[in-house]
Every structure is written in structure tokens, then in C-alpha cells.
Amino acid sequence: MTASGINEATLRRLRPDFLWGAATAAYQVEGAVAEDGRGTSIWDTFSHTPGRTLNGDTGDLAADHYHRYPEDIELMASHGMGAYRFSIAWPRIVPDGAGAVNQRGLDHYSRLVDALLDRGVEPMATLFHWDLPQALEERGGWYARDTAHRFADYAEIVLAALGDRVPKWLTLNEPWTVVGQGYSRGVHAPGHRDYHTAGTAIHHLLLGHGEALARFRAIEAEGAEMGITLSMALPRPWSRRPADVAAARLLDGEQNRVYLDPLFRGSYPPDLAELFPTLFDDAIVRPGDLTVISEPIDYLGVNYYLNHLVAADPAVPVLGARQIHPEGPMMSAGIAAVPEGIRECLVRIRDEYRDLPLYVTEMGASLHDYVDPTGRVRDTARIDYLRTTVESISNAVADGVDVRGLYVWSLLDNLEWELGYSIRFGLFFVDYGTQRRIPKDSARWYRSLISEHAELTRDRADRGPSW
Ligand code: IFM
């Protein structure tokens, strides 16, 4: 057994160049919302609207990563991390969503990328992690087809500036969360609560993805690759009753298949026609759209948090289904911590969709961490969660799935959207009053895991890749 508590054979199974990283998103960590010409995003508007976020928390200051990124990169490097997944704030680049480009925004990310490369940390950039320019929301947001075209324009600007130095790109982060929380359930920005029209937002997000991918292919950034990150859920029926089985199937459609099917099969799942009628409306899904959306990606990013049982419940509007949080310890966000489920998600993609390279672009545990009187953050539950995560990824590799990296959510404690700063996901504790970063026990554990893996796979790395 190794110091990380993961047995050697399990760690050896992961490729020598397996990427060990951490992830963040612009609005959750950057702060500096009024600096260097940044425009307003829907999350500025939403978080400043009374009653929308817990305690009225906003991303105005967040973890001040906009200014403190050199220190944060140093933390990654000194903890052995070889990769950083961050997102680019669209309103920093095109403040009004269309038209004038803000060079100061591009310069910021250019400096960030150079600083990462200097420290040997590979950048992975997400183009859209939910901070839509407010100006585009006022023109219909993702209900409007034009937003997809504007997204592609913005992507092209960023790719032209950074495509030579950023080897890994993601178009969208978790379109399910954007739509499920922001358009259907109304708990995220922009706060719409309408399943009936949510399909339109799904389609335009995916169209934006496809058009951005086409621009990327046209640029031919050498050595760079592009994918998309989906959040995969594991909804299972509460019982074998046909009504529960059908309810779980519906949630699987709403959370997984409605994104996977168009991306990999070029069609929307017919069983979702009642839930998302506009996905079957020719005025919304126009000829050729699904061809654009299903153009092959270089890899898929998978985020995994949700594992729940589903029971039919006619009292629940629209879905007629209730989620029951199951077995296992609960994390503080009310999310059941069942990290083993990642194996099933990864295998499913290979078996039901396509055998392509996969990156786990987020997995993490939310806890009520605190600094104890000795100055330590003893987040044992997060270490257990991450240990099981790594073992489960290795099991998927044993099943023959091509998994190439893990980006822990999150590098730093940050703004957990509508839950504000009430819960913490970071490997590094952020004392928000002083912005001091304190490595949690999990950060030290991650460092030892990364060095054990390097040690165990050194021979194979010296012989060169065998894949
Ligand atoms: O904080 C979020 C992140 O922005 C997207 N994926 C899930 C995380 C935890 O809820």
C-alpha cells in the first residue's frame, strides 16, 4: 500500500502521462468584476438580485484569483499538479457579447497561460462556464439562435489569441446545469422556470458548441484539441415498478441523453418529445444543425457528482418524478458522495456512444471545512472521496476505457453559485477576509498521490508510450 492509500497496481494502471490537475471557473474565483473593461454577466445581475443567492453572496471579490493567479499557480506547481482547467470570462473578452473586443481581457488570460506554461502546468481552457454577457441575455440569451453565432465569434477571438499556447479546449461546461438549473428550475442565472421552452436553450447551446468547434478546426491550431464537458448523472429507479423505471429513464434523458445523443448520434432522443417539444420543432432545429453539433470532438470532459434514486411522483410538476438521495454519506451541498459511480459513467460513454479519450474534468467534495486551532484543515472526508475517485477511474481503465486525466473540483474554495460561500470544495482553503490560501490535508494527500504515480510509472514513461 502506498502513502495515498491506493494500492500500487491500481495506480500503475493509469498512463504515465495521466494528467493530475485541478479546476476552477471564472465567476467563481476571479473577482475583479469591474476591472480592465469587463462587461456585466448574467451572474452579476442574478447574484445582485435580492433573494437569488444565499446571504446575497456575489462573485465581486470571490477568491481574487484575477490578481492572485501567480500565487495560485505556485501552489499548483509546488503540489505537483501538471494541469489546470480554468474558464475564460466571455464578458472580459467581448463585454457586450457582440462587437468590440476588449484587448485587456485577452491580455489577462495570455499572462495567465504564460505563467502556467512557465511553471510546467498545462492549461485547459473552458470557453463558457455560465457567465453569459448580460447584453446577450437581453437579446434572448440561449433562447436566441443568434447567441450561438455570437459564442462562435467569441470563441474564434480567443482561439486566435491563445490557440498557439493552450493545448486543450472545452467549448461548454455542463450544458445540463445551464439549462436544468437556469432555464427549467430557475435556481441559477438567468432564472427561467419553464421546461416547455428549455429545449430551445439546449439546442442553441449545442449549436454554439458545434459552431465554435468548426471555427477551431478552421484555425488549425497545431497540437491543440477541443471537446466539451458534460455533467453525467446516475439516476436509478427507486423500485422495479414500471412507473419508477420510466421516471428514472426520463431523468436520464433530461440530464444525460439529451446532450450525449445529439453530440454522438446526431439526433435528439424521441422519448423526450413531450418534455422538450421545441427540440422537435423544425423552426428551432434547422436542417444541418445536427450535423454541425455531431462533428467529432477530440475528447469528452466528464463531470460527475449526482447519483440518485428516482421515484415516480405525479405531484411533482412536469417531470412527475422525485429524486431520492441514496446510500452513502452526504456532502454538504445535499449531494450524495458516491464517487464509485464515475466508473459506470465512463464505461457507459464508451459502450453506448463512442470510444474516445476522456478527461474527468471535475469531481470534488463539498464540506464545511474549517481551520482548526493548530492551523490545519483536516478534510479527511475529501481525501476518502478522492481516493475512491482515483480507484474508480483506474477501474474504468481496467475496463478498457481511455481515461487521460483528472481535474479535481476545485483548486480553491470559491463561490458555489446560488449557495454562495457557504460550502467549500477547494484543495486549498481560502480565508476570504484576508485571501490567505491554506493547503488542506487533501492538497498534501494529492501531492503524495501524484508523486507516487510518477514513481510507479517511471519505467513505462522512459520506454515511451505504449498506446
Ligand atoms: O461549482 C460547480 C461548478 O461550477 C460546475 N460543476 C459542479 C460544481 C459543484 O457544484
Q: 389-424, pLDDT tens digit by residue?
A: 999 999 999 999 999 999 999 999 999 999 999 999
What are the tens digits of pLDDT across the range 364-394?
999 999 999 999 999 999 999 999 999 999 9
Cα gap 279→259, rounded to integer Å: 12
Q: Which whole number is the average pLDDT over 323-352?
A: 82
Which atom of ligand 1 is closest in space to residue 25's alpha carbon?
4
Confidence band, pLDDT 50/70/90 cuts, at residue 340: very high
Proportion of the chain above pLDDT 70, given as a percent: 97
Structure confidence at residue 336 (pLDDT): 64
Residues with Cβ < 8 Å from 141, sequence gap 6 or more? 42, 132, 147, 190, 201
Please name the residue whose Cα sits nearest to atom 2 of ligand 1: 416
Residues with CB under 6 A from ligand 1: 25, 28, 174, 303, 305, 362, 409, 416
pLDDT at 335 over 80: no
What integer best gives the mean pLDDT of the chain?
A: 95
Structure confidence at residue 467 (pLDDT): 38
Structure confidence at residue 464 (pLDDT): 57
Please name the residue whose Cα sits nearest to atom 4 of ligand 1: 25
Please name the residue whose Cα sits nearest to atom 1 of ligand 1: 416
Cα gap 94→133, rounded to integer Å: 8
Q: Which whole number is the average pLDDT over 264-282?
A: 98
CA 40 to chain centre: 22
Confidence band, pLDDT 50/70/90 cuts, at residue 79: very high
Q: In terms of CATH, what superfamily is 8-463?
A: Glycosidases (3.20.20.80)
Q: Minimal CA–CA distance to 86: which of 69, 107, 74, 67?
A: 69
The residues that bridge with 409 in the sheet, in sequence order, are: 23
Please name the residue whose Cα sits nearest to atom 9 of ligand 1: 416
pLDDT at 282 over 50: yes
Q: Which of 320-334, 353-367, 403-417 is least confident?
A: 320-334
What are the tens digits of pLDDT across the range 90-107?
999 999 999 999 999 999
Proportion of the chain above pLDDT 90, given as a percent: 92
Structure confidence at residue 306 (pLDDT): 81
Q: How many angstroms does the Cα of residue 28 sit away from the middle of ligand 1?
A: 9
Confidence band, pLDDT 50/70/90 cuts, at residue 109: very high
Structure confidence at residue 32 (pLDDT): 98
Q: How many angstroms does the Cα of residue 232 sit away from the middle of ligand 1?
A: 12
Which atom of ligand 1 is closest in space to residue 333's alpha carbon?
10
Q: How many angstroms does the Cα of residue 416 sit away from the middle of ligand 1?
A: 7
With the most atoms of ligand 1 within 8 angstroms of its CB, the residue from 53, 366, 410 to mutate is 410
Structure confidence at residue 327 (pLDDT): 58
Which atom of ligand 1 is closest in space to residue 417's alpha carbon?
1
Which atom of ligand 1 is closest in space to residue 416's alpha carbon?
1
Cα gap 365→280, rounded to integer Å: 37
- The upper half-sphere exposure of residue 349, i.e. CA atoms within 13 Å in the direction of its Cβ, equals 33
Which residues have a catalytic role annotated? 174, 362
Q: How many angstroms does the Cα of residue 417 sit away from the middle of ligand 1?
A: 8
Note the pTM of the prediction, 2 decimals.
Answer: 0.97
What are the tens digits of pLDDT across the range 142-200?
999 999 999 999 999 999 999 999 999 999 999 999 999 999 999 999 999 999 999 99
Structure confidence at residue 57 (pLDDT): 98
With the most atoms of ligand 1 within 8 angstroms of its CB, the residue from 306, 415, 416 to mutate is 416
Q: How many angstroms does the Cα of residue 428 sit away from the middle of ligand 1?
A: 16
Q: How many angstroms does the Cα of residue 308 sit away from the middle of ligand 1?
A: 17
Q: Which of 79-88, 229-238, 321-330 is least confident?
A: 321-330
Q: Which whole number is the average pLDDT over 40-58?
A: 98
Confidence band, pLDDT 50/70/90 cuts, at residue 76: very high
Cell of 214: 468548426
Q: How many angstroms does the Cα of residue 359 sit away from the middle of ligand 1?
A: 16
With the most atoms of ligand 1 within 8 angstroms of its CB, the residue from 417, 418, 421, 424 to mutate is 417
With the most atoms of ligand 1 within 8 angstroms of its CB, the residue from 362, 382, 408, 414 to mutate is 362
Which atom of ligand 1 is closest in space to residue 130's alpha carbon?
4
Structure confidence at residue 221 (pLDDT): 85
pLDDT at 465 over 70: no
pLDDT at 428 over 60: yes
Q: How many angstroms does the Cα of residue 309 sit away from the middle of ligand 1?
A: 21
Which atom of ligand 1 is closest in space to residue 362's alpha carbon?
6
